Amino acid sequence: MNEMQFVSEGAAAEVSPPAHITIREMTLDDYDEVAGLWQNTPGVYFGEADSRENLQKYWARNPGLSLVARDGKQLVGAVIGGHDGRRGTLHHLAIAASHQRRGIGKALIDCCLQKFREQGINRFSVMVYSDNEDGKNFWKSLDWEEGTRVAVMWKSDD
């Protein structure tokens, strides 16, 4: 398992959250804590698609792209990353309220984007609920642009 203390090569070396924060690949052992974080983070939807079994399938298709951040043993952040071979997508970025505004979210994003780039992916997207103004402002503060050319259409067999 890859574990980073933010000492890395290339663009990932620009990542600089607090020194005591560790980022590593998300595993099934993290699931209960991560699910709790998502359920308690405003603006993050936790549903049936986020089951342990479904995430395990997603990770098998996108190994090493979903990450957790820990302050010692305490889970303080998580993000799911994956790609379709053309575009990398981030889902469910969440930072514990006690650790927000410390650079941890940016560090998780930067680590994911570096992993995408290492696989030849250089276009990225994230879905943010249209009424999540705090979330949209966070992404905009990192120079992400709010799209206006597409509408998300979806269907579920549930």
CATH number at residue 62: 3.40.630.30
Mean pLDDT of 12-21: 63
Angle at 65 between CA 68 and CA 8, to 5 degrees: 75
Domain count, the chain: 1
Mean pLDDT of 121-135: 91
How many residues appear in the chain?
Answer: 158
In a domain, 112, yes or no: yes
Output the average pLDDT for the chain: 87
How far is residue 123's CA from residue 86's CA, in Å, rounded to a whole number? 7
Cα Rg, the chain, nearest whole Å: 15
Range of the structural domain that residue 57 is part of: 3-141
In a domain, 18, yes or no: yes
Residue written as token pair 């579920």: 156
Of 114, 72, 109, give the one whose Cα is nearest residue 92. Answer: 109
Can you give the pLDDT at residue 126?
A: 92
pTM of the model: 0.85
- Alpha helices per DSSP H over the chain: 31-39, 52-61, 104-118, 133-141
In a domain, 155, yes or no: no
Of 94, 92, 59, give the one whose Cα is nearest residue 75. Answer: 94
In a domain, 74, yes or no: yes
Say how many C-beta atoms besides its own lie within 10 A of residue 106's C-beta.
Answer: 18
pLDDT tens for each residue of 69-99: 999 999 999 999 999 999 999 999 999 999 9
In a domain, 54, yes or no: yes
Amino acid at 58: Y
In a domain, 28, yes or no: yes
Can you give the pLDDT at residue 15?
A: 53
In a domain, 102, yes or no: yes
In a domain, 123, yes or no: yes
